[in-house]
Amino acid sequence: MTNKWRYWSVFLLLLVSIAGFVIRCKLVSGSLPYCRHIDESMWSHRALNMLKTGDFNPHRFNKPTLPTYLMASGFAVGYLHACSRLELKHVRDIGSNAYPFYRHKTVVFPARVLYAGLSVLTLVFIGIVGYRAFRIHSILFLAPLVLSVSSLYLHLSWSYLNVDIVGCFFAVSLLFFLCESFDTKHTTVLAVVSGLLCGLTVGSKYNLFPIIVPCLLFFLLYHRERWIRLSLLAVGTAVVSFVVTTPYALLDLPTFLEHVGYEVRHYKQGHEGFDGEPGLAQFLYYVKALRVDFGWFLTSLAVAGLLYMHRLDWRKSAVLVSFPVCFLLYMSAQRVHFVRNIVGLLIRP
């Protein structure tokens, strides 16, 4: 009976994933050629410019450059596809994304599908993380199914190219790797890969830097005697990984510091229409946003599930919950609040 239920759980996980990807692709196709958010316009312009000029310096670092490079990769595939359909002849013909329209939607489509695919892989990884940590077969499909109910997550996964979906993917990839490493003896590989994924996460969105906390806590709880060495190795690898994905952080250091400093001040000073008093007020804002997104029933079910996981294995539960908790506390200390930031709070089985 156990094996049969495991097979059914895997089948339902695949069903949720395939259905989610098909729905996202249809939504992407129906949304083009529109550029539906000003943030996408800002960064897709830089990605398109990379293809036309060969200059990989985005000259703007308010957000890390890894998502921009992913956009450029998708646009390159789209350009070649447009050439195969005789829609384009030269790279210079790609044009810009004069907001709110793209000149050639064929060029943009693969990038949007790539981001949609990352959002679906995140669903799959969350299901596997829950199962590997607590050996409950139903978590395989229930965790991604519950996340699929989030209208915010669905919206971000198809409507526009954003850093949140990319950062969420790499953060969950880290938790997936840690869950596969509870019994590992290869601690050096563990620290290096963990640091690599941390760097990729922060290279997607600066605010996700608390992703290092699960790593450090994992080393402390499961490899206490080597905690300092593994922590230093992971942090060092994370820095290298970040620099590799955001190379102009060093090559154009003054501009990088200027723009990152602006974002730090921005979140502390406030943003008209999107700010509140730091502390408890911001904490309650994000908690309410989660409750509104999922409803009372699923929110209560999620809290009960977290308590049950803690009872089953408090160490594994602590590792998995540490990131969303630390991220929530950090964001609650800021004056600016954007509802899309709660996507980081969804990263748990």
The pLDDT tens digits along the chain (349 residues) read 466 777 888 899 999 999 999 999 999 999 888 888 888 888 888 999 999 999 999 999 999 999 999 999 999 999 999 999 998 888 888 877 667 778 888 999 999 999 999 999 999 999 999 888 888 888 888 889 988 889 999 999 999 999 999 999 999 999 999 998 888 888 999 999 999 999 999 999 999 999 999 999 999 999 999 999 999 999 999 999 999 999 999 999 999 999 999 999 988 888 887 888 899 999 999 999 988 888 888 888 888 888 888 888 889 999 999 999 999 999 999 998 888 888 877 766 5
- For residue 318, give the H/E element and its range: helix 314-332
pLDDT of residue 209: 95
| Residues contacting residue 113 through CB under 8 Å, at least 6 positions apart | 24, 25, 28, 74
pTM: 0.93
**What per-residue string of b and e applies to 121-136 under the rule 16 or more CB within 10 Å gives b?**
bbbbbbbbbbbbbbeb
* Alpha carbons 173 and 194: distance in angstroms, whole number: 9
| Residues 118 and 171: beta-carbon distance below 8 Å | no
Tokens (6 digits) for 169: 């993917």
Tokens (6 digits) for 258: 């200027």
Give DSSP secondary structure letters for 26-45. Answer: HHHHHHTTB---HHHHHHHH
* Alpha carbons 25 and 235: distance in angstroms, whole number: 37
Give DSSP secondary structure letters for 87-129. Answer: S-SSGGGG----TTB-S-HHHHHHHHHHHHHHHHHHHHHHHHH
* Helix, coil or strand: residue 275: strand
* Alpha carbons 120 and 126: distance in angstroms, whole number: 10
Task: Convert 151-174 into a string of H (helix), E (strand) and C (coil).
Answer: HHHHHHHHCCCCHHHHHHHHHHHH
pLDDT of residue 23: 96
* Alpha carbons 62 and 45: distance in angstroms, whole number: 14
- E strand segments, 190-296: none
* Alpha carbons 268 and 250: distance in angstroms, whole number: 25
pLDDT of residue 2: 64
CB atoms within 10 A of CB 15: 12
**Amino acid sitting at position 189:** V
* Alpha carbons 71 and 43: distance in angstroms, whole number: 8
* Alpha carbons 265 and 60: distance in angstroms, whole number: 16
